[in-house]
Amino acid sequence: MFDAFIQYLQFEKRCSEHTVTAYQTDLTQFQDYFEFKSISDLGDLTSLGLRSWVVHLIDSGLTNRTVNRKIATLRTLFRWMRKEGIVKANPMAKIHGPKNEKRLPVFAKESELDSNKLAEMYNNDFDGLRDELMVELFYQTGMRLNELMNLKEIDVNEQYIKVLGKRNKERLIPISSGLFLQIQEYISQKRKIVGESKFLIVLKNGNKLYPTFVYRKINAYLSQATSLDKKSPHVLRHTFATHMLNRGSGLETLKDLLGHANLAATQIYTHNSFAQLTAIYSQAHPRGH
């Protein structure tokens, strides 16, 4: 049954590979717990039994955010089961998760991502050229990891990059002339060393990127350039958003660039920009000092 549910996520909901993997992990842990409790039929589960599972997750030391993600997985599963006629009622309807902790996005300072400073970190070969482009794409466009891995050469022109976001929603992200020239130089080198490839960013053997590789590369470069504890592709996405707001971007514009479904997801970056507003206030208001 879980296999059919995963196929539903892949082909009907069109979830990303990363999302599907997260669902699979959650379902495996959920199945292990209830097999331990000698419950084999999901139709026998009650709200009381599911509450015991939530308590088990919290007692295991998981963050509230992780617990809520696992609850969301179960909600989606039981909605699908009810739609398919596998169960008559949804026992998750009465389940409420713990309140999420308020967590502000982590971002790098503008000075830490100075282009001249970063240029010193890259090797003078194909790997260095590719790695530099990966960092710049994350920082200059705010795209997600999965979006970068699936970028194709035909998605790029001198004015914008076409990105395929969550649920196959397309968006156009403007790019600078400098970034476009950087992409063209990289493509030229890629064709000499790797050959033809429909994907824009690839491994040296021509294979498609995979998440662990990108995480490892970005972590290594951010470790050299910043003092951040968290160093991931998403940190560069947060950095893009924060720096845009700090330099005057409106929330609606930023929402479209990031591919958010609504403004609520974008508004979290206004907290990070408060320090910038305070600095401007101190300089601009006669009594701001």
Catalytic residue positions, numbered = 144, 166, 234, 237, 260, 269
As a whole number of angstroms, the distance between CA 41 and CA 110 comes to: 54
Q: Read off the tokens for 20.
A: 């599907």
Write the CA distances from 268 to 173, 273, 279, integer angstroms.
Answer: 21, 10, 19
Residue at 180: amino acid letter: F
Q: How many CA atoms lie within 13 A of 231 on its CB side?
A: 17
Q: How many CA atoms lie within 13 A of 2 on its CB side?
A: 15
Give the three-class secondary structure for 131: helix
Q: Read off the tokens for 156.
A: 């790029």
Give the three-class secondary structure for 160: strand
| C-beta separation of 109 from 118 below 8 A | no
- Phi-psi region for residue 167, left (φ > 0), alpha (ψ -120 to 50) or beta? left
- C-alpha closest to that of 164 among 138, 144, 141: 144
